[in-house]
């Protein structure tokens, strides 16, 4: 029987993961108390920075009334939350699957953190769903491609690969949500939801970075080449997904200026100067990291 570790840890990293476990046990999001659930969500307020609407800076934006812009802002927020729900629901089976498959090849402290991580994602999805119901927001469709990546492609692969792609997805989602939701004029319940979620997510991202960096130091050249090839396909799609989602016209109460299959208009929005600038700002740290590890073409 092979018993070499699938997630080799240095003594220093082992100590960091043990510390992460302790912090997580003491400060973790609690579904019942994370938000004042008896308070109203005020949908007359912006749930995000209005300067960050996906079609801002294009001619389509100028066709919307102020009321329609507010509706679109809430729909974009519904999409962001839906994205968290669909993605985070795939993570407990992925990580618990690794523990089941490699129970004798993953260090106990890492098994503990994978369990904490899984538990936290379940609490997050419950909280996100409760928020959506309370705000009268509807779930969007599962993200095309990403859902299969997390629920089908990654489970049979090695744990560091699954942890790396989980990190990339979570990091993009988290930078997007936090970049737009923390201003003083943002609807208070929405701002608090993303802020509270961020405390747990910041730990998930730290863990993902440690494990991924270790993988790039110790992984076989073949494995690393395979991961780079995958990431070069996944990352641009992931960025586009958070820049504009073509599903928008299926949700608006009015005729949205871009049809769901209007590839030219969708491409114009994805490549707009305004979105390029927003992506440069919000993803600066991520871009530097993926560049350093050769994860982008
Ligand atoms: Fe989460
Ligand atoms: Fe997470």
**Which residue ranges form the domains of the chain, and what is each CATH number?**
56-292 (1.10.620)
Ligand 1 center to residue 114 CA distance, Å?
Answer: 13
**pLDDT 10s digits, 61-120:** 999 999 999 999 999 999 999 999 999 999 999 999 999 999 999 999 999 999 999 999
Report the pLDDT averaged over residues 273-293: 97
pLDDT at residue 7, rounded to an integer: 84
CB-based contacts of 262-271 (< 8 A; 24+ apart in sequence): 265/60, 268/58, 269/54, 269/55, 269/58, 269/60, 269/243, 269/244, 270/240, 270/243, 270/244
pTM of the model: 0.96
> How far, in Å, from the CA of 141 to the mean position of ligand 1?
18
CA of 212 from ligand 2 middle (Å) equals 15
Which pLDDT value is given to residue 2? 53
206 CA to centre of ligand 1 in angstroms: 13
């Amino acid at each position: 029987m092979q018993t070499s570790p699938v997630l080799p840890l240095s003594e220093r990293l082992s100590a960091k993961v043990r510390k992460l476990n302790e912090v997580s046990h003491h400060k973790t999001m609690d579904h019942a108390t994370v938000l004042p659930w008896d308070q109203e969500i005020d949908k007359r307020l912006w749930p995000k920075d209005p300067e960050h609407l996906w079609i801002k800076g294009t001619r389509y934006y100028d066709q919307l009334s102020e009321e329609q812009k507010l509706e679109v802002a809430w729909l974009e927020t519904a999409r962001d939350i839906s994205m968290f729900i669909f993605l985070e629901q795939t993570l407990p089976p992925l990580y618990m699957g690794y523990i089941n498959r490699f129970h004798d090849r993953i260090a106990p402290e890492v098994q503990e953190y994978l369990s904490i991580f899984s538990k936290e994602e379940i609490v997050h999805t419950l909280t996100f769903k409760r928020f959506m119901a309370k705000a009268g927001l509807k779930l969007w469709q599962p993200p095309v491609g990403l859902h299969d990546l997390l629920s089908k492609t990654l489970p049979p692969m090695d744990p560091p690969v699954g942890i790396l792609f989980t990190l990339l997805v979570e990091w993009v989602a988290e930078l997007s949500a936090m970049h737009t939701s923390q201003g003083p004029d943002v609807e208070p319940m929405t701002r608090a939801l993303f802020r509270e979620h961020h405390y747990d997510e910041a730990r998930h991202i730290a863990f993902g970075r440690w494990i991924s960096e270790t993988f790039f130091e110790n992984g076989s050249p073949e494995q690393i080449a395979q991961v780079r090839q995958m990431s070069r396909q996944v990352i641009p799609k992931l960025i586009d997904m958070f820049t504009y989602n073509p599903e928008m016209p299926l949700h608006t109460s009015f005729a949205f200026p871009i049809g769901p299959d209007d590839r030219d208009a969708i491409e114009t929005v994805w490549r707009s100067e305004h979105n390029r600038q927003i992506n440069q700002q919000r993803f600066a740290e991520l871009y530097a990291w993926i560049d350093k590890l050769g994860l982008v073409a």
